[in-house]
Amino acid sequence: MAYNQKDYFFKKAKKENYAARSIFKLQEIDERFHLLKSGYKVLDLGAAPGSWSQYCSQKVGPRGRVLGIDLQTVKLTMPNALFIAADMRDLDVGKVMEENGIAPPFDVVLSDMAPKTTGIRVTDQARSLELCELALSTAERFLRPRGHFVCKLFHSEGFEPFRDQLRARFQRVEALRPESTRKESKEIFFIAIGWKGPAGT
């Protein structure tokens, strides 16, 4: 299937005014694991074009906050969301928070970051794993104890070692391939619930 093919979820996202069909992956994850609540502070890594942030913005409501970071500019505006265009690999996230009056900790850290694919499977897998490691280290800096973490991995030999890292740090770890994932996609989402905190690792 061509990447841009206008499938069921593409059309549904457009109809419901979401920026991308990815919304339905987060929605399924949230409906299963109940991660997002009113008043929560959410860090959304790899936020563009913005559908996960749209979903989070609605779930956390006016008392909550969403900070979205992406290489690409997010062109949406939401009263409780702030977007930063930057490369997570060299961004001082703490400084960004300080400059924008957003005090950690966060209740939930999400990462839908994906590398630009090269078509060379091992390269793409290795880059995806690097982004997961980066998202996890960011979560460890800014998540509150018992907070939740979600990240996307291109399935590879790195799957089990990374799951082990998560298991050491969170009370419960699940892996899910949401229904709206394209058939040809090798992506899988980790849902890590209840961060044990700095002393728990």
Ligand X SMILES: C[S@@+](CC[C@H](N)C(=O)[O-])C[C@H]1O[C@@H](n2cnc3c(N)ncnc32)[C@H](O)[C@@H]1O
Q: What is the CA radius of gyration of the chain?
A: 16
Residue 25 falls in the annotated catalytic set: no
Which of 24, 35, 41, 46 is close enough to bind ligand X by CB under 6 A? Answer: 46
Work out how close the CB of 74 gets to ligand X at its nearest, in angstroms, rounded to a whole number.
8
| Of 41 and 127, CB closest to ligand X | 127
**Per rule CB under 6 A, is residue 114 in the interface with ligand X?**
yes
Work out how close the CB of 130 gets to ligand X at its nearest, in angstroms, rounded to a whole number.
9
Catalytic residue among 152, 183, 186, 196: 152
Which of 52, 83, 149, 189 is close enough to bind ligand X by CB under 6 A? Answer: 52
Which of 38, 72, 117, 137 is close enough to bind ligand X by CB under 6 A? Answer: 72
| Positions in the binding site for ligand X (CB under 6 A) | 19-20, 22-23, 46-52, 69-72, 87-89, 112-115, 131
Residues annotated as catalytic (active site), given as ranges: 152
